[in-house]
């Protein structure tokens, strides 16, 4: 029976994104995180590099092709014995659905829970038709399948054998020229459409062209030397069968599964708002989510008019994109009606505590292609104040702060993601600059977290984008507190979902002080310290603009949305009440800004055939990086200070 929802509840749905199936079935409880390498593994830090060379020679596959395919499959990570959600094992991500499904729940030594992935639901194409790919590889190299699941050397040999077999099946020679292997690489992708297969092969060959270096999850140093002679092929046309409503780059496999715009009763409707963006509201942001549920259950959610909506979903196993809401319309996804009106929401299948199983390279790459396409279409800057996580969305009012979301969490690799966007996060000023960008080395930066498998249970060490903040330049000092998130006065914790004392890669802050290996930033109205040694910095110098209270003002309010002034509201349109956040920006403090926008709001949303009225004001606001989340201050309340090397005008910057 369809659930009836009152207008009051529907407003809450629009303001607070519903997360489906948080209590996932045991079949989805796959290994949470990889464990650190042993001393022996650290000593043999070039073993995997040698494995690629040996296997390439043995099976007459160009080493660059073998390494390029492995990088696209797993970024050379092993996760020994741990399958991905698609049932893939090892650096070559060889699929064995039966083994992954039969693994069943099991406990690891540090308390992390492992289990069988929902592989049968996540697989597609050739990998669904041949779910025992790993076993076929095992037969080709004469090794037991278990060895290929747990031993990186055997896994790489199996992948090389499969590539060679594919080349022979295509009637092609085992050539030492990488260009001769393009079709074999495309087929190895397992894609069920030609556009995706071609995109995969071109990604491999683009990687070979420019080269790559990475330290893997097993502390292996792996280098693919650049080969400028190797180039991708000309892009193929989009799938002729693509639905006409789909807005997607041609090289991506994209489909349409529409979210319903339906009247539920006389005073409620769902599950998105009609709009005419960017004519009526500029699209300023792209919000990155993870589903905290299987994509199958999320597809059921997005088709229910009583639930929330988002614009796109990206599948973990192969990166396939599904669009649900046209970008001109407003989806209910962020927890803030203001952000919804100015953003596009992109959901990624996965759980924030299980990055190795769900946050696949194919998903990262498809998502980055989609976001790059949308950013170009709507002139959205590729920075962390415009492309941000659900966990960075500002609460619209003080009372909603504790209910805001935490995804995609500390294990989303923002640095890698922005590399894929073609907008790498990097230093733009010297190490002693007045601004810093958080930029920890993801693989080696492993802050402590708890709560991945149960309250207070330590998470296994894992690379992270998150940097933790203290009240003093001392690791034993208390963590910074967030009085809005914890109004009862409880302390911040190391829980994986506690954002009260965290910042993230790519976020930029004003420096508030330095002491030895420690740097302080302005954060939620106070100094917050993080360890930042010069030899292995956690943050790099940045140039840009900052706001500070205008001369004569001792403090100014901070807002979670930019509303128009009273005079902007037409007769008969109810004014939205201002609700300053429970923080203060005091004289002498500075916060980084990358955007200035006019105040606006949508008149009380209602069901109808035309978009709702947008009320636009003359009052200008600066969006600032205030804490882990963004915030807004009135332009009339602040002066703008530019650091050396900052681009563009300062105080008189035009509204975007």
pLDDT tens digits, one per residue of 91-142? 999 999 887 776 643 333 233 333 334 434 444 444 444 668 999 999 999 9
| Per-position b or e across 457-481, b if 16+ CB within 10 A of its CB | ebbbebbbbbbbbbbebeeeeebbb
Same domain, 211 and 259: no
Measured between alpha carbons, how far is 419 from 131 in angstroms, rounded to an integer? Answer: 32
Measured between alpha carbons, how far is 80 from 67 in angstroms, rounded to an integer? Answer: 18
- Cα of 1 vs its chain's centroid, Å: 35
Any idea what the CATH number is for the domain that residue 384 is in?
A: 3.40.80.10
Q: What is each CA distance from 397 to 342, 526, 581, in whole angstroms? A: 17, 21, 6
Same domain, 207 and 294: no
Q: For residue 30, is pLDDT > 60? A: no
Same domain, 89 and 215: yes
Which of 410, 433, 468 is the C-terminal boundary of a domain?
410
Give the pair of three-digit tokens for residue 458: 């330590």
Same domain, 588 and 635: yes
Same domain, 330 and 380: yes
| Interval 486-511: pLDDT, tens | 888 788 999 999 999 999 999 999 99
Biggest CA-to-CA distance, the chain: 80
Q: What is the per-residue pLDDT for 97?
A: 82
* Residue 316 within any structural domain of the chain: yes
408 within 8 A of 288, measured Cβ to Cβ: yes
| Interval 295-352: pLDDT, tens | 999 999 999 999 999 999 999 989 999 999 999 999 999 999 999 999 999 999 999 9
Q: For residue 42, is pLDDT > 50? A: no
* Residue 78 within any structural domain of the chain: yes
| Model confidence band, residue 629 (pLDDT cutoffs 50, 70, 90) | very high
Same domain, 41 and 178: yes
16 versus 294: the higher-pLDDT residue is 294
Q: For residue 653, is pLDDT > 70? A: no
Q: What is the per-residue pLDDT for 266?
A: 81
Q: What is each CA distance from 301 to 11, 257, 298, 455, in whole angstroms? A: 17, 11, 5, 28
179: containing domain = 31-224
* Residue 179 within any structural domain of the chain: yes
- Looking at the DSSP bridge assignments, the partners of residue 313 are 322, 347
Q: For residue 147, is pLDDT > 70? A: yes
DSSP string covering 129-197, please? Answer: H-TTHHHHHHHHHT--HHHHHH-HHHHHHHHHHHHHHHHHHTT----S-GGGGHHHHHHHT--SSHHHH
Helix (H, G, I), strand (E, B) or coil at 77: coil
The closest alpha carbon to 410, from 442, 383, 386, belongs to 442
Q: For residue 644, is pLDDT > 90? A: no
β-strands 502-504, 466-468 pairing: antiparallel
- Looking at the DSSP bridge assignments, the partners of residue 510 are 435
Same domain, 362 and 394: yes
Same domain, 142 and 276: no
| Model confidence band, residue 181 (pLDDT cutoffs 50, 70, 90) | very high
| Model confidence band, residue 382 (pLDDT cutoffs 50, 70, 90) | very high
Q: For residue 21, is pLDDT > 80? A: no
| Model confidence band, residue 32 (pLDDT cutoffs 50, 70, 90) | very low
The average pLDDT across 260-278 equals 94
Same domain, 243 and 384: yes
Domain count, the chain: 3
Same domain, 53 and 138: yes
Q: What is the per-residue pLDDT for 646?
A: 64
* Residue 102 within any structural domain of the chain: yes
* Residue 432 within any structural domain of the chain: no
Measured between alpha carbons, how far is 310 from 344 in angstroms, rounded to an integer? Answer: 8
pTM for this model (two decimals): 0.90
Of 21-35, 177-191, 294-308, 603-617, the one with minimum mean pLDDT is: 21-35
Q: Average pLDDT, whole number, for the chain?
A: 87
| Interval 196-252: pLDDT, tens | 899 999 999 999 999 999 999 888 999 999 999 999 998 666 565 677 889 999 889
Any idea what the CATH number is for the domain that residue 142 is in?
A: 1.10.530
Half-sphere exposure of 11 (CA within 13 A, CB side): 11
* Residue 400 within any structural domain of the chain: yes
The closest alpha carbon to 337, from 291, 402, 400, belongs to 400
Of 108-117, 365-374, 377-386, the one with minimum mean pLDDT is: 108-117
Which of 410, 442, 469 is the C-terminal boundary of a domain?
410
Q: How large a percentage of the chain has pLDDT more than 70?
A: 86
Of 69-83, 239-253, 424-438, 526-540, the one with minimum mean pLDDT is: 239-253
- Cα dihedral angle (497, 503, 505, 506), rounded to 10 degrees? 130
298 within 8 A of 17, measured Cβ to Cβ: no
Same domain, 78 and 202: yes
Same domain, 76 and 209: yes
């Amino acid at each position: 029976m369809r659930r009836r929802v009152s207008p009051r509840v529907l407003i809450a749905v629009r303001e607070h994104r519903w997360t489906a199936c948080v209590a996932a079935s045991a079949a989805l409880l796959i290994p949470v995180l990889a464990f650190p390498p042993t001393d022996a593994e650290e000593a043999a830090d070039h073993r995997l590099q040698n494995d690629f060379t040996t296997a390439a020679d043995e099976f007459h596959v160009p080493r660059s092709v073998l390494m390029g395919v492995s990088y696209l499959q797993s970024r050379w990570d092993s996760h020994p014995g741990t399958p991905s959600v698609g049932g893939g094992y090892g650096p070559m991500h060889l699929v064995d659905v039966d083994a992954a499904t039969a693994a069943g729940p099991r406990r690891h030594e540090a308390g992390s829970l492992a289990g069988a992935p929902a592989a049968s639901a996540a697989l597609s194409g050739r990998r669904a038709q041949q779910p025992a790919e790993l076993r076929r590889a095992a037969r080709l190299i004469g090794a037991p399948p278990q060895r290929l699941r747990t031993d990186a050397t055997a896994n790489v040999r199996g992948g090389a054998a499969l590539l060679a077999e594919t080349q022979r099946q295509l009637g092609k020679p085992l050539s030492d020229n990488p260009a001769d292997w393009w079709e074999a690489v495309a087929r190895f992708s397992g894609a069920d459409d030609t556009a995706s297969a071609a995109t995969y092969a071109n990604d491999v060959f683009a990687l070979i062209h420019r080269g790559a270096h990475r330290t893997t999850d097993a502390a292996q140093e792996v280098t693919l030397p650049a080969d400028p002679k190797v180039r991708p092929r000309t892009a193929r046309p989009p799938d002729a069968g693509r639905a006409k409503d789909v807005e997607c780059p041609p090289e991506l496999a994209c489909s349409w599964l529409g979210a319903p715009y339906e009247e539920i009763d006389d005073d409620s409707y769902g599950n998105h708002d009609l709009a005419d963006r960017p004519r009526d509201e500029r699209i300023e942001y792209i919000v990155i989510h993870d589903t905290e549920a299987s994509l199958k259950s999320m597809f059921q959610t997005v088709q229910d008019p009583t639930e929330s909506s988002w614009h796109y979903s990206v599948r973990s196993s192969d990166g396939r994109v599904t669009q649900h809401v046209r970008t001109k319309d407003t989806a209910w996804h962020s927890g803030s009606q203001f952000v919804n009106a100015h953003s596009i929401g992109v959901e990624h299948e996965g759980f924030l505590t299980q990055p190795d199983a769900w946050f696949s390279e194919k998903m990262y790459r498809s998502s980055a292609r989609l976001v790059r396409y949308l950013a170009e279409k709507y002139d959205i800057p590729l920075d962390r104040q415009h492309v941000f996580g659900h966990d960075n969305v500002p609460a619209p009012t003080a009372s909603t702060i504790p209910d805001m979301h935490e995804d995609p969490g500390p294990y989303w690799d923002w640095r890698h993601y922005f590399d894929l966007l073609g907008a790498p996060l990097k230093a733009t000023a010297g190490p002693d600059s007045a601004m810093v960008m958080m930029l920890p080395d993801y693989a080696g930066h492993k802050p402590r977290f708890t709560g991945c498998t149960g309250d207070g249970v330590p998470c296994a060490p894992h690379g992270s984008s998150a940097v933790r903040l203290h009240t003093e330049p001392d690791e034993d000092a208390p963590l910074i507190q967030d009085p809005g998130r914890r109004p009862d006065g409880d302390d911040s914790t190391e829980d994986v979902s506690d954002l009260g004392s965290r910042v993230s890669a790519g976020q930029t802050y004003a420096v508030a002080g330095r002491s030895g290996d420690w740097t302080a930033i302005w954060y939620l109205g106070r100094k917050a310290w993080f360890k930042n040694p010069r030899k292995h910095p956690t943050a790099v110098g940045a140039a840009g603009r900052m706001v500070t209270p205008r001369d004569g003002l001792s403090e100014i309010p901070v807002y979670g949305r930019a509303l128009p002034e009273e005079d902007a509201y037409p007769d008969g349109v109810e004014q939205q009440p201002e609700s300053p956040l429970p923080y203060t920006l005091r004289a002498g403090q500075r916060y980084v800004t990358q955007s200035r926008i006019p105040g606006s709001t949508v008149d009380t949303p209602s069901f109808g055939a035309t978009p709702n009225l947008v009320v636009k004001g003359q009052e200008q606001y600066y969006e600032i990086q205030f804490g882990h989340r963004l915030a807004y201050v009135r332009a009339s309340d602040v002066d703008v200070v530019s650091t050396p090397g900052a681009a563009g005008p300062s105080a008189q910057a035009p509204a975007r």
